[in-house]
Amino acid sequence: MPLPHIESGHCNVNLTPSPIEPSWIIEGNPEARSYLLSASADGAATTLIWSCTAGKFNWYYDVDETTVILEGSIVLESDGMPPKRYGVGDVILFRSGARAKWYVEDYVKKVAFLRQTNPLGFTFVVRAVNRLNQMLFRLSRGQLLRF
């Protein structure tokens, strides 16, 4: 069954338990919850809502993640970066391979956009195919191509 071209969701959803790896917890008893809002057809990109109660823990990123804080705040620490507080409306990019220490003082809720990274050569091939598709689409619509 093909996926719809347009999907929508909402940030006010019922989140389900999504426990933090116990060996990552430094302090407290943080309880994380999440809800998958969407996923690309190839599974390389997902969007989720995630929340967590008070605690301090490490987090290791194996995909690129762009985070937008919806509620609450956090203090982040990472190698080469002094502790910094982030709150509602702040946007943070964690590149694949990043390591961060999260300190949730009370509660935080975020929307996270996760994307698998591809080898550089593969990325160029995908861009070339996408460009070719755009050109063919314009030709099929009778539009003049400009370079």
Average pLDDT across the chain, whole number: 87
pLDDT at residue 63 tops 70: yes
pLDDT value for 42? 82
**Which of 28-42, 84-98, 113-127 is predicted least confidently?**
113-127
Tens-digit pLDDT profile for residues 19-49: 999 999 999 999 999 999 998 888 889 999 9
**Residue 22 C-alpha from the chain's centroid:** 22
- Left if phi > 0, otherwise alpha if psi is -120 to 50, otherwise beta: which for 118? beta
